[in-house]
Copies of this chain bind each other. A is one copy, B any other.
Amino acid sequence: MANSVGNIYKFTVWGQSHAPQIGVTIEGLPAGTYIDQERLQSFLDRRRPGQNKYSTTRKESDTAVFAAGLNDASVTVGAPVTAYIVNSNTRSSDYEELKYVPRPGHADYPAMARFGEARDFAGGGQFSGRLTAPICIAGGIALQILEKRGITVTARPVMIGGETEEKKMLEAIEKARSECDSVGGIVECVIEGMPAGVGEPMFDGIENRIAQLVFGIPAVKGIEFGNGFRCAALRGSENNDPFVISDGRVSTLSNNHGGILGGMTSSMPIVFRAAFKPTPSIASEQRSVNIKTGENVSLRIRGRHDPCIVLRAVPVVEAAAAAALLDELYMCGNCRL
């Protein structure tokens, strides 16, 4: 539980921001699966900071090293696959003063309540966005397997700081940075090529599972599929997607259902959107408390932080969706008969 997810394609994410390593252990990869490590690394690099001026200047090489589960460093042997990334460039001293002063919008305060003095607060500990790198390893491998089955997963930002046009989105980030502030946004993800009828009923449907994984990405505060929240202002006659058949192939004339009906795929593209809150680490002064002294204090967060994590979150959303869908494919009764 907690750091593990999946029924058959199942992985456990481990590590903290400033631990010696972060990593992932993956069960359920069929023996003989080729993993293209070069492509996987390229995928990880999309998440890596320091790629452009819109992200933190921290340097994280984020090289995935495979500790077990592969033959010739490329083909699965049917055992669990473990990969890790060595943490470096950690400046824990930046965090000393935060030991008793929770940062607004961060996991600090609940973590203090839960783990007490033992919690690892350096760099956000286990709640750091850094832990999305192992998710990208598990999801990046899933993406390669899905692709061989003709399934593609593509995410992109559709809103940042209230803006929906690329140039303006980037300007919103730049403006926030210059004002020691941050902005949130929305990532939309589209999956094409899924056959119909995949997804378990009730609590393990496509929506449930993608939601479970996507809410594992720090800063996500909402998710919607197809028309999502727009449904609340629609009528059934508007929202229902008529079925049509052509050359024996069933499809729908519109895709308000976002490719999912009853938790299962309809064969139409799966479409979902995830809402990200603005990065809580901002340089401007904020109110907080010192839980040791019991005093109200003012806090100024130091360190190197992203003014917007939405851009870097794009591959993470793809990874989460891919891992969820591969597991659903493996669970699907059709596949195991």
Contact = CB atoms under 8 A, between A and B. Distances in A.
Q: What secondary structure prevails in chain A residues at the interface with B?
A: mixed
Contact of A203 (B66, B82, B216, B334): B216
Interface residues of A, number: 155
Given A159-B232, A222-B225, A261-B109, A120 B242 contact: no
Interface in A153-183: 159-162, 176, 181-183
A144 to B, nearest CB: 16
Interface stretch (A38-46, A53-61, A247-255, A311-319): A247-255
B235 A203 contact: no
Interface string A107-141: 11111111111111000011100010000000000
Contact of A243 (B109, B126, B228, B231): B109
A195 interface: yes
A146 interface: no
> Which of A67, A114, A273, A275 has the most CB atoms of chain B within a 10 A radius of its CB?
A114
Given A66-B20, A68-B14, A264 B114 contact: yes
Interface in A257-314: 257-258, 261-267, 273, 275-282, 284, 286-289, 291, 294-296
A102 B8 CA distance: 28
A224 interface: yes
A236 B138 CA distance: 30
Given A4-B27, A231-B278, A215 B222 contact: no
Nearest to A109: B266
Interface in A177-221: 181-186, 195-205, 207-209, 211-213, 215-216, 218, 220-221
